[in-house]
Copies of this chain bind each other. A is one copy, B any other.
């Protein structure tokens, strides 16, 4: 095993910038078996990608992702493009023997996701690793949530309550960016942010969503065509309008295979909620609640405490014995959104550097995709109950 993993990243917009910050930082703060080297970034526009390389700290750049994948001096391909190109790139990269870190959602369809899983399974035999980038698993408070469930502190989980609330397209004049186009993004709020709460709740509960009843809605059906975009901000180009082809909001009920029942909501129309990823679990012995808008905190209710002293306690998840936090600052000194990616890269480097499969795997990500697909189908069929099969069976089939 080399002591260095040479990374090539494809895409350099919002996700690319976040990943770059993480790649630059991860070996500065964690002791890891390997160091990441930022070899090249890839994008379609030569001048823009050249500027991005300099700004974001990549040694080189290219406009051809196939070339990037083919290079001998690249060990890891980091896929930060919109969802419609994930499958093609990731499968090709795996076939070329590159470890792949692919942004979420894994793909725009179950079929693509299945093909990616198959490619990952083939590559795995050759010691090639793959991982899907559900970064919110790496929020320390979320990791604590999982620990509490795993250690039995919550008892039997009865309820999951998950929402992901944003409001960046409430204005009907906000333009028709790629995230609002089905051919690019696959779906709207569902795949973009709903995917996060599906993965996160399956992760923290250790339970799989077994069935759903759903409805989706597109409140604003026509929007101005877009000019430039940056992060989630954008402006119109003034040439007219086009149809919104994805959901603005997706709501669903679910049963998990461990007996919990759940409500899920993903929306971009929750005025005033900026990045309101909230998850609450209620168990027979306790509860936890998390809100990404206060990402350094976890609320924990321990029903085994003396009755008159029970209450939701606000744990500041900034102690050195909290997951991921030994690398950072003294207690009470917050970390931010970008740290979730640094933690992601830490886990990726740790796993790949020691020859272990990182998680979430492509199979885990397929499981999410199967849920998204069931949501879509249930919504199309009058909210009819729609089962979700285990991904492993899907793969076997």
Contact = CB atoms under 8 A, between A and B. Distances in A.
Interface residues of A, number: 96
Given A219-B158, A309-B315, A314-B313, A330 B232 contact: yes
Contact of A28 (B21, B259, B339): B21
Interface in A53-68: 55-57
Q: Is the interface of A mostly helix, strand, loop or mixed?
A: mixed
Contacts of A284: 170, 271
Given A332-B166, A336-B335, A271 B285 contact: yes
A124 interface: no
For this chain, the copies found in one complex come to 4
B215 A255 contact: yes
B329 A333 contact: no
A178 interface: no
Interface in A294-335: 294-296, 298-303, 307-316, 318-322, 328-335
A184 interface: no
Interface string A274-304: 1110000011111100001111101111110
Interface in A364-386: 382-385
Given A311-B300, A336-B334, A382-B384, A271 B252 contact: no
A282 B272 contact: yes
A57 B161 CA distance: 43
A361 B376 CA distance: 39
B213 A215 contact: yes
B286 A272 contact: yes
B159 A267 contact: yes
Given A231-B329, A313-B311, A385-B383, A282 B271 contact: yes
A168 B334 contact: no
A233 interface: yes
Given A28-B57, A263-B263, A273 B330 contact: no
A128 interface: no
A249 interface: yes
Interface of A: 14, 18, 20-21, 24-25, 28-29, 55-57, 144, 158-159, 161, 163, 165-168, 170, 213-215, 217, 219, 231-233, 249, 251-253, 255, 259, 261-263, 265, 267, 269-276, 282-287, 292-296, 298-303, 307-316, 318-322, 328-339, 382-385
Given A21-B29, A314-B314, 15 more contacts: A21-B25, A158-B170, A159-B267, A168-B330, A270-B287, A271-B287, A274-B331, A275-B330, A275-B333, A276-B332, A293-B332, A295-B334, A311-B314, A311-B316, A336-B336
29 contacts: A20-B28, A21-B25, A24-B24, A159-B269, A165-B282, A166-B332, A167-B282, A213-B383, A215-B253, A219-B259, A231-B329, A231-B330, A251-B261, A263-B263, A270-B287, A271-B283, A271-B285, A272-B286, A272-B310, A274-B316, A274-B331, A293-B316, A300-B311, A302-B309, A308-B315, A309-B313, A309-B315, A313-B313, A334-B336
